[in-house]
Amino acid sequence: MELRELGLFGYMKKYKHENLVFCQDEEVDFKAIIAIHCTALGSATGGTRMWKYESETDAIEDALRLSRGMTYKYAAAGVNLGGAKGVIMADPKRPDRERIFRTYGRFIDRLNGAYITGEDVGTTLEDMEYIAMETKFIVTLPEYLGGSGAISPMTAYGVLQGMRAAAKEVFGSDDLDGKKVAVQGLGSVGSSAVEQLAAYGAKLVVTDIDEARISTIRKRFDVEVTKADEIFGVDCDIFCPCALGAIINDKSIAQLKCKIVCGSANNQLEDADRHGPMLEKRGILYVPDYIANAGGTVYDTDRLMVGGLVNKERAKEKVARNYERVQELIAISKRDGIPSYRAADVMAEERIAAVSAVKRHTNTWTI
Ligand code: NAD
């Protein structure tokens, strides 16, 4: 919408976007857009989404918006990478994967490191393998190809470190033993969060819309199960959303009984400027989604900093620092008298400004 109003360059100027790359191959029926938002901290990196967009404008705006989100995510997480995103305009169920992703890989290769890609909605690790046949500028790869493999457990680990820091602020202790945590969604991240929370001794209330996932979790852990639409009203200490976006809204905020919201789901606030302050007014500490869920990408991209070699221990240590990130976030929120969702942006912007003062356009990482 905003892109239509401002025009392409108006929009890019407003949000400080650097590059927009269009890729087209008629024979392959291939159309993709690569948005490079900001290279102040390092090479522009971000996953590739495959989606059937209603219009070209929608695809461009999505690529631009998502690339900006990556800049903030890396900056706030202390990762020296810039933000970018690729979108392939196609049905994510399209079967001719090799043709699509090898074509895409060749376009990425032509950018010679200005963009490094990975997995996102509509793309799989297998698709990444096709890209890797054509370019080395790819981060998310299976372990046998030199990548970090599955990253969801590390996303969950990062969520929990942020949660512990939030607990320290709210309850005076970061010990989750005996804390009641309501987990929404038992997929890749949610199930791993349950496993790790159980190990911390947390009391768990869980839900999913997929009965099979509930029964798998029930077999492994001592959990209480609630209906999907009743999770918001559970009397608990912490709400951990690991399913969909926009779940923090007028309706759910009225039901929440928790003191902390900290989970992996992307875009949790339906309307950030309305629901961020509403949570604060209700005395609920919100750990912003892109801070809480950065663990997977911190883990995945760690090898880019050291010539491409995975070191699981070092990468995990970096994810553990999400504890300090959340402490920093809370400090900024208090310092500036702003809600936590805004403090996350300030934290990212301050880091970009600080590093920009030292160096700009440092897209010289090699893999
Ligand atoms: P997933 O698809 O594996 O799991 C999502 C789960 O949520 C599924 O089990 C699904 O049945 C359930 N669900 C859907 N709607 C629901 C509802 N209304 N109520 C309860 N459960 C519902 O996804 P994932 O990889 O675990 O990611 C979870 C969230 O975290 C997503 O928002 C994703 O964008 C975000 N995220 C994931 C990662 C990662 O490393 N996988 C990283 C950053 C952010």
Residues 173 and 189 in one domain: yes
CATH number at residue 31: 3.40.50.10860
Q: Is the residue at 311 inside a domain?
A: no
Q: Is the pLDDT reported for residue 138 higher than 90?
A: yes
Residues 218 and 336 in one domain: yes
Residues 170 and 277 in one domain: yes
367 or 176, higher pLDDT: 176
Coil, helix or strand at residue 182: strand
Residues 117 and 167 in one domain: no
By alpha-carbon position, which residue is closest to atom 33 of ligand 1? 265
Share of the chain above pLDDT 90, in %: 92
Residues 169 and 286 in one domain: yes
* pLDDT mean over 62-78: 95
Contact criterion met (CB below 8 Å) for 33 and 57: no
Show the beta-strand stretches assigned E in the chain: 19-25, 30-38, 44-45, 48-51, 82-89, 115-116, 180-184, 203-207, 223-225, 238-241, 260-261, 285-286
pLDDT of residue 91: 97
Ligand 1 atom nearest to CA at 266: 32
Residues 115 and 56 in one domain: yes
Task: State the chain's maximal CA–CA distance in angstroms.
Answer: 62
Q: To test the ligand 1 pocket, which listed residue (189, 240, 268) has its Cβ within 8 A of the most ligand atoms? A: 189
Mark which of 145, 161, 181 sits at the end of a domain: 145
pLDDT of residue 307: 81
Supply the residues annotated as catalytic. 85
Q: Is the residue at 315 inside a domain?
A: no
Q: What is the pLDDT of residues 114-128, one digit of tens each?
A: 999 999 989 999 999
Contact criterion met (CB below 8 Å) for 297 and 307: no
For ligand 1, the distance from its centroid to the CA atom of residue 245, given in whole angstroms, is: 9
Q: To test the ligand 1 pocket, which listed residue (51, 209, 226, 239) has its Cβ within 8 A of the most ligand atoms? A: 209
Residue with tokens 């991240």: 189
By alpha-carbon position, which residue is closest to atom 14 of ligand 1? 243
pLDDT of residue 365: 60
Give CA–CA dist 30/110, Å, rounded.
Answer: 16
Q: Which domain holds residue 36?
A: 2-68+81-145
Closest by CA to 39, choosing from 61, 16, 60, is 16
Residues 120 and 217 in one domain: no
31 or 364, higher pLDDT: 31
Residues 207 and 158 in one domain: yes
Q: Is the residue at 42 inside a domain?
A: yes
For ligand 1, the distance from its centroid to the CA atom of residue 90, given in whole angstroms, is: 22
